[in-house]
């Protein structure tokens, strides 16, 4: 299926941010140290627009990497003014900004709305007070609740970023953060399992033996359960795991933690496996001695159901003591077991 939406990212690394959280090194993540210039902005936008095919129905512009609303308002106005010609011409349909919960109030939202910002993405990271404290966030759970509520009441779209696996976190705390995010009416979500980056306080804690990051398997276990909450609520999960990094210009910035270039696929594939396992468990109760089974797999998500190198199929064969699993595709969205 062709991708029908694209997002043009403009990175403003650490701009406006009043804190340096224990996990954060925006320069290492974005690969950028410099503030964008108007020339760079235009070049980036034009490059994306020139390669957007006719199947693209919606183009979004996003200011990432900093606390946008903590920047001097005149600088905010300048950045947003660069986008104005593209918005008024219709080539860009919407604008997204990212910021901290404690830099949102009604005056700020009114300003953003007047400059065609449609989505405000909040770096919540966790709704747990202890996790926020240990991570050096510098804002409270109440700040996050208030900011998310204000954004929804204003009629703007709400995005939420969550970072499971931070200091003091547990699987129950991360699931609770996902449930609160869902209850607040988030329109979309990003989930970034915490990794240890070079030149951060988290690296110091890790090297001193005071912080242990999640393993890849632990991160999958946590994030699959968070993803299921958003999937059931029909909340769009934009991304899971850090963006694939280009290490060509230097050393890998990740010291430790559950980084995987295809982490989002791994989560979705594990989620599909869990769904198949539930259905096959019911099937097995009805047919305890059957050794062969035929599955009906939704074509749109076939790779997620089958798994990398058929790992989900092989898992199910072993789990249910099956000799053979065959399958066919359906254009329905429902997975099922065919009668044999």
> What pLDDT sits at residue 14?
56
Q: How many residues does the chain have?
A: 340
The proportion of the chain whose per-residue pLDDT surpasses 70, expressed as a percent, equals: 91
**Intervals of CATH 3.30.2320 along the chain:** 273-338
Q: Is the pLDDT of residue 60 over 90?
A: yes
> What pLDDT sits at residue 23?
75
What kind of fold does domain 5-260 have according to CATH? Answer: TIM Barrel (3.20.20)
Residues 124/92, Cβ–Cβ less than 8 Å: no
Q: Is the pLDDT of residue 280 over 90?
A: yes
Q: Residues 94-132: pLDDT tens digits?
A: 999 999 999 999 999 999 999 999 999 999 999 999 999
Tokens 């009043």 — which residue? 18
Residues 120/160, Cβ–Cβ less than 8 Å: no
Q: Which residues pair with 254 in a beta bridge?
A: 197
State how beta strands 188-191 and 157-162 pair: parallel
**Intervals of CATH 3.20.20.70 along the chain:** 5-260
Higher-confidence position of 243 and 31? 243
How sure is the predictor about 137, in pLDDT bands with cuts at 50, 70 and 90?
Answer: confident
* 191/271 Cα distance (integer angstroms): 15
* 242/262 Cα distance (integer angstroms): 9
Instruction: Name every residue whose Cβ is closer than 8 Å to that of residue 135 and which is 6 or more positions away in sequence.
Output: 21, 22, 23, 125, 126, 163, 166, 167, 168
Q: What is the mean pLDDT of residues 152-162?
A: 98
Q: 273-338 sits in which CATH class?
A: alpha beta
> What pLDDT sits at residue 199?
87
Within the chain, strands assigned E span: 5-11, 58-64, 94-99, 117-125, 157-162, 188-191, 196-197, 236-240, 254-256, 292-298, 324-330, 336-337
Q: Residues 174-217: pLDDT tens digits?
A: 999 999 999 999 999 999 999 999 889 999 999 999 999 999 99
Instruction: Name every residue whose Cβ is closer than 8 Å to that of residue 121 and which is 6 or more positions away in sequence.
Output: 62, 96, 97, 98, 99, 158, 159, 160, 161, 190
Q: Is the pLDDT of residue 173 over 70?
A: yes
> What pLDDT sits at residue 5?
87
């Amino acid at each position: 299926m062709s991708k029908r939406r694209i997002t043009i990212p403009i990175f403003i690394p650490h701009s406006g941010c009043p804190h340096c959280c224990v996990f954060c090194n925006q320069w290492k993540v974005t690969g950028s140290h410099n503030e964008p210039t108007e020339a760079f902005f235009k070049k980036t936008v034009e490059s994306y627009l020139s390669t957007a095919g006719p199947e693209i129905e919606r183009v979004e512009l996003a200011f990432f990497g900093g606390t946008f609303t903590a920047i001097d308002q005149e600088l905010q106005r300048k950045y947003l003014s660069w986008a104005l010609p593209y918005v008024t011409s219709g080539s860009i349909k919407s604008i997204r900004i990212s910021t901290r919960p404690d830099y949102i109030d009604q005056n700020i939202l009114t300003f953003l709305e007047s400059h065609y910002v449609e989505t405000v993405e909040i770096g919540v990271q966790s709704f747990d007070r202890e996790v926020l404290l240990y991570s050096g966030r510098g804002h409270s759970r109440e700040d996050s609740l208030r900011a998310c509520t204000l954004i929804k009441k204003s009629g703007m779209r709400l995005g939420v970023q969550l970072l499971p696996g931070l200091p003091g976190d547990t699987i129950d705390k991360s699931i609770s953060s996902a449930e609160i995010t869902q209850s607040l009416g988030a329109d979309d979500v990003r989930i970034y399992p915490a990794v240890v980056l070079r030149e951060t306080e988290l690296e110091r804690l890790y090297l001193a033996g005071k912080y242990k990051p999640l393993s890849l398997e632990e991160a999958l276990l946590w994030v699959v359960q968070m993803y299921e909450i958003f999937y059931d609520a029909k909340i769009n999960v934009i991304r899971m795991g850090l963006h694939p990094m280009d290490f060509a210009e230097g050393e890998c910035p990740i010291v430790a933690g559950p980084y995987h270039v295809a982490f989002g696929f791994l989560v979705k594939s594990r989620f599909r496996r869990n769904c198949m396992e539930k259905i096959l468990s019911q099937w097995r109760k009805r047919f305890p001695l059957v050794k062969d089974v035929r599955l009906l797999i939704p074509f749109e998500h076939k790779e997620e159901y089958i798994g990398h190198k058929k790992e989900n199929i092989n898992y199910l064969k072993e789990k249910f003591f099956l000799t053979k699993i065959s399958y066919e595709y359906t254009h329905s969205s429902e997975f099922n077991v065919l009668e044999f």
